[in-house]
């Protein structure tokens, strides 16, 4: 356990708000905060399953009344912005400013700091969110995460039906285990104020992987000869729409697959925050193999 996570410096009775608390990443953050004995408030649109020590607030993160309620008695926020547009975030930022908690924002390593505009619309939203939070004087700790290993859970239905994963191909990235990102987030959320590093943290896994590489690792974990088949954009679009994904999300994913450049960057920032190196996707695949069979 990193020293930062041992030395919590919190107001008695205060809560940590976790947005996206039932998601792949958020639920890992919640588990860890609970294990540290922190009082957690969660914010999601759907009522979560009850958990001891977790107080749910149900509503939209873009609804200022919901955010105001969630922030009462809260002195730190793990913030995700799951929307495809940052225009409704001004209200959120106003509520954060009024409540003045410590803000840990989950962004993306895909941001190109040299570019005024990002070619990928999802990445642009994260860039806008970072600028909004900084511009409001909230002094957020920004955790830019690479592609989460947990995204591959979306392949589970295909892998239960056969040995082929077909989908959009995207540029290779340093896929990171969401448990490492959660450990890093919790280290920052529980850090003593006087030791808090306000800097930017780039959280990557230890190796750069394509989708075919990830499928191969899953195959090794499952002991099955799995293959990845890249689909052309039009076919991927029609399949995602048929699966019920919202059209703006589908278009954003298609744009990301075409425009997001390959990233060969690997950092040691997970280790810097957690005290141990980032785990491999191969290990993630072994640990989660049961979800795919
Ligand atoms: N996945 C990646 O590779 C990656 C990489 C970099 C950054 N990120 C960022 O990390 C975030 C979390 O990723 P994830 O994979 O954990 O997502 P996820 O599994 O899809 O979970 C999303 C969470 O957000 C909640 N949510 C969604 N829309 C909401 C809204 N309008 N208001 C309130 N809560 C809402 C969901 O619960 P309800 O549905 O009940 O609301 C759920 O708890 C992403 O949104 C993205 O901003 C992801």
pLDDT tens profile 62-83: 999 999 999 999 999 999 999 9
Q: Ligand 1 within 6 A of 151 CB?
A: yes
Q: Ligand 1 within 6 A of 218 CB?
A: no
For ligand 1, the distance from its centroid to the CA atom of residue 79, given in whole angstroms, is 10
Interval 105-117 mean pLDDT: 95
Q: What is the pLDDT of residues 48-62, one digit of tens each?
A: 999 999 999 999 999
Interval 98-114 mean pLDDT: 96
Residue nearest to atom 28 of ligand 1 (CA): 82
pLDDT number for residue 230: 94
Worst-scoring range by mean pLDDT, 38-42, 147-151, 192-196, 213-217?
Answer: 192-196
Number of H helices, E strands in the chain: 12, 9
- Would you tell me how many other CB atoms lie within 10 Å of the CB of residue 231? 16
Residue nearest to atom 31 of ligand 1 (CA): 60
Is residue 135 within 8 A of residue 95, CB to CB? The reply is no
Worst-scoring range by mean pLDDT, 129-143, 150-164, 244-258?
Answer: 244-258
Interval 233-260 mean pLDDT: 89
pLDDT number for residue 9: 52
What domains can be seen in the chain, in order of their start residue? 3-146+178-203+265-278 (3.40.50.720)
pLDDT number for residue 262: 78
pLDDT number for residue 12: 62
For ligand 1, the distance from its centroid to the CA atom of residue 249, given in whole angstroms, is 12
- Look at residue 92 and tell me whether its pLDDT is greater than 50: yes
Q: Ligand 1 within 6 A of 23 CB?
A: yes
Radius of gyration of the chain, Cα coordinates, nearest whole angstrom: 19
DSSP state at residue 117: S
pLDDT number for residue 5: 40
Q: What is the pLDDT of residues 192-209, one digit of tens each?
A: 765 556 679 999 999 999
Interval 228-237 mean pLDDT: 94
Q: Where are the alpha helices (DSSP H) in 73-204?
A: 89-99, 121-135, 156-161, 178-189
pLDDT number for residue 25: 98
Ligand 1 pocket mutation, candidates 21, 25, 178, 245, criterion most atoms within 8 A of CB: 25
Q: Ligand 1 within 6 A of 88 CB?
A: no
Nearest atom (ligand 1) to Cα of 48: 40
pLDDT number for residue 194: 53
Burial bucket for residue 158 (CB in 10 Å: 0-12, 13-18, 19+): middle
pLDDT number for residue 8: 44
Residue nearest to atom 15 of ligand 1 (CA): 24
Is residue 275 within 8 A of residue 6, CB to CB? The reply is no
Q: Ligand 1 within 6 A of 105 CB?
A: no
- Look at residue 174 and tell me whether its pLDDT is greater than 60: yes
| Token representation of residue 263 | 């990233």
Q: Ligand 1 within 6 A of 205 CB?
A: no
Interval 113-141 mean pLDDT: 94
For ligand 1, the distance from its centroid to the CA atom of residue 225, given in whole angstroms, is 31
Distance CA 173, CA 146 (A): 7
Q: Ligand 1 within 6 A of 106 CB?
A: yes
Report residue 20's pLDDT band, with 50, 70 and 90 as the boundaries. very high
Give the chain's mean pLDDT.
Answer: 92
pLDDT number for residue 255: 85
pLDDT number for residue 157: 95
How would DSSP label each residue in 30-44?
HHHHHHTT-EEEEEE
Residue nearest to atom 35 of ligand 1 (CA): 44
Q: What strands lie across the sheet with 102-108, from one edge to the other?
A: 54-58, 39-44, 15-19, 74-79, 102-108, 141-145, 200-203
- Look at residue 4 and tell me whether its pLDDT is greater than 70: no
pLDDT number for residue 127: 97
Nearest atom (ligand 1) to Cα of 25: 16
Nearest atom (ligand 1) to Cα of 83: 31
Is residue 205 within 8 A of residue 263, CB to CB? The reply is no
- Would you tell me how many other CB atoms lie within 10 Å of the CB of residue 98? 11
Which among 102, 88, 81, 86 is positioned nearest to 38, based on CA atoms?
Answer: 102
Q: Ligand 1 within 6 A of 81 CB?
A: yes
Distance CA 164, CA 142 (A): 37
Label the pairing between strands 164-167 and 200-203: unpaired
């Amino acid at each position: 356990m990193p020293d930062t996570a041992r030395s919590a410096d919190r107001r008695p009775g205060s809560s940590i708000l976790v947005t996206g608390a039932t998601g792949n990443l958020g639920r890992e953050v919640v588990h860890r905060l609970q294990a540290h004995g922190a009082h957690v408030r969660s914010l999601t649109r759907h009522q979560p399953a009850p958990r001891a020590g977790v107080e749910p607030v149900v509503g939209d993160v873009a609804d200022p009344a919901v955010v105001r309620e969630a922030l009462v008695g809260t002195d730190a926020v793990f913030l995700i912005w799951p929307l495809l547009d940052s225009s409704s975030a001004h209200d959120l930022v106003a509520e954060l400013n009024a409540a003045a908690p410590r803000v840990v924002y989950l962004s993306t390593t895909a941001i190109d700091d040299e570019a005024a505009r990002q070619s990928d619309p999802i990445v642009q939203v994260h860039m806008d969110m970072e600028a909004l939070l900084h511009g409001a004087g909230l002094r957020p700790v920004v955790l830019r995460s690479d592609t989460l290993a947990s995204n591959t859970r979306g392949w589970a239905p295909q892998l239960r039906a056969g040995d082929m994963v077909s989908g959009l191909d995207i540029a290779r990235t340093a896929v990171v285990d969401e448990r490492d990102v959660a450990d890093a987030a919790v280290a920052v959320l529980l850090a003593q104020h006087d030791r808090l590093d306000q800097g930017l943290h780039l959280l990557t896994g230890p190796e750069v992987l394509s989708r075919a590489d990830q499928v191969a690792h899953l195959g090794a974990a499952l002991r099955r000869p799995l293959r990845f088949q890249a689909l052309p954009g039009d076919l991927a679009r029609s399949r995602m729409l048929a699966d019920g994904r919202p059209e703006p999300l589908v278009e954003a994913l298609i744009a990301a697959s075409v425009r997001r450049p390959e990233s060969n960057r690997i950092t040691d920032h997970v280790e810097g925050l957690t005290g141990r190196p980032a785990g491999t996707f191969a290990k993630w695949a072994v640990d989660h193999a049961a979800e795919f069979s």
